[in-house]
Structure 1
Amino acid sequence: MAAYRGEEEYDYLFKLVLIGDSGVGKSNLLSRFTRNEFNLESKSTIGVEFATKTLNIDSKVVKAQIWDTAGQERYRAITSAYYRGAVGALLVYDVTRHSTFENASRWLKELRDHTDPNIVVMLIGNKSDLRHLIAVPTDDGKSFAERESLYFMETSALEATNVENAFTEVLTQIYRIVSKRAVEAGDNSDTSAVPSKGQTINVKEDSSVLKRFGCCSN
């Protein structure tokens, strides 16, 4: 077990949002990352819930506040408050249900309508463990991610495949942007900055997890 840290003992606080159709596995991705739990009987999320997890990046303590919402249309009224302040997002589809992949572009548009244009977004093809039922080829997900300048991974919340990698990569990229801005501004006290509008995000950084547009399904 990790040592308990006080609620305020962190250097950066980043808000992430999980978006995508109902039933794609957003809640189980969240519970797998934050509590290492998976619930086969998971019911659709009603309204909004969130969880937090603290991790170390470049010797800094980064606290992630991850919001999970229902994918059903009737909860769409919460969007503006849900997205406010988010600096990262995981856009999730179910690799066994092509309709959830088709709807990814609509979710991405909504995300971009409500957030800073430089938000770090990763496209997630979840349920990769159901290989015999796959309806969305990896290359299709990769192509969409490349076209929209997203990161991309295939995950399995059930088998815990790439879940930690996906969240950690998003948080690492956000940290790099924000810490770079803090250095440039000569102000290291800004612990929850959103990348400024019009700022170019440097995606050339090497990563031990993936390269942008790369797939880590293996």
Structure 2
Amino acid sequence: MQTSACRGTRSVCGQTFDYTIKIILTGDVRVGKTTFLHRFVSGEFNSHLKQSDGMGPRTKVLERDGKKILTRIWDTAGQERFRSLTTSHYRDVHGCLLLYDVTNEQSFDHVLYWYNDLQDKSEPLPKIILVGTKCHMYRVVSRDRAEKLAENLEVPYMEVSAELGLNVEEAFENITEQILETLKQKSASITLTNTAAVREEKWKCGCSC
């Protein structure tokens, strides 16, 4: 279950943040999750990264509408080779970028597996974007097929290239915006509920103020 700790001013390493959100990357091994994340965090492409380089969260600060957001992004660090991620990987997650490789048919075939794994182990289901990686290379999975799958799953679809830096920032910005919209709606709902509860208590005690 997602925690309310993600909302409100929080201090980390001397900086204060209005939101702290958890984003996970999932998908088959070797679809490019670690290089994709490295490109986003560092702005550089490195084709020699090891899967162990994805262990532990990577962080990056984003700003939206005057709010400072600390994004904590978790790679699978090779755990996905066992075709099952632990429940702790999905705990308190707000958003997921589900990656497959457009040059690898099998990785596309496994998208439903990873979607169902996420659905089974996270409550509520986080915001999801289906992401096709290595879009600058010769593809075996057409964009049309991927868009139809995304439509069936009712999630957005994007294609990225970590090597060229294409749509990498945009993918993380998109998922962050979706998460923030959900948090704002939840915050507004809590405010309305609290206001109604106060009014009910005043009515019970006969207070007209």
Q: TM-score, normalised on structure 2?
A: 0.80
Give structure 1 stretches of 5+ with no counterpart: 188-218
- Provide the C-alpha distance between the structure 2 equivalents of 1:46 and 1:55, rounded to a whole number of angstroms: 22
Are 1:34 and 2:41 counterparts? yes
Give structure 2 stretches of 5+ with no counterpart: 1-11, 193-209
Tell me what 2:198 maps to. Answer: none
Q: Is the 8 A contact 1:27 1:45 kept in 2?
A: no
Tell me what 2:73 maps to. Answer: 66
Tell me what 1:173 maps to. Answer: 178
* Equivalent of residue 146 in structure 2, options 141, 149, 165: 141
Structure 1 stretch displaced more, 120-129 or 108-117 = 108-117
Tell me the SS of whatever aligns to 1:168. Answer: helix
- Aligned-residue identity in percent: 33
- Provide the C-alpha distance between the structure 1 equivalents of 2:178 and 2:188, rounded to a whole number of angstroms: 16
Structure 1 stretch displaced more, 46-55 or 63-72 = 46-55
Task: Report how far residue 47 of structure 1 moved.
Answer: 7.6
Tell me what 2:95 maps to. Answer: 88
Task: Report how far residue 8 of structure 1 moved.
Answer: 4.3
Query: What are the Cα deviations for residues 76-134 of structure 1, in whole angstroms up to 9, with x where unaligned?
Result: 3x52111100010000000000100000100000011111244100000000111xx20
Q: Is the 8 A contact 2:135 2:161 kept in 1?
A: yes
* Equivalent of residue 16 in structure 1, options 17, 23, 29: 23
Are 1:97 and 2:104 counterparts? yes
Query: What are the Cα deviations for residues 46-81 of structure 1, in whole angstroms up to 9, with x where unaligned?
Result: 7833201110112111111000012543373x5211
Query: What are the Cα deviations for residues 9-50 of structure 1, in whole angstroms up to 9, with x where unaligned?
Result: 100011010000111000011111111121112233478332
CA change 1:7–1:140 in 2 (3 A) is farther
More helix by share: 2
Q: Which amino acid aligns with 2:32?
A: G
Q: Which amino acid aligns with 2:177?
A: T
Tell me the SS of whatever aligns to 2:51. Answer: coil
Q: Which amino acid aligns with 1:94?
A: D
CA RMSD of aligned residues (A): 1.9
Q: Is the 8 A contact 2:27 2:80 kept in 1?
A: no
Q: Is the 8 A contact 1:47 1:75 kept in 2?
A: no
- Provide the C-alpha distance between the structure 1 equivalents of 2:97 and 2:113, rounded to a whole number of angstroms: 14
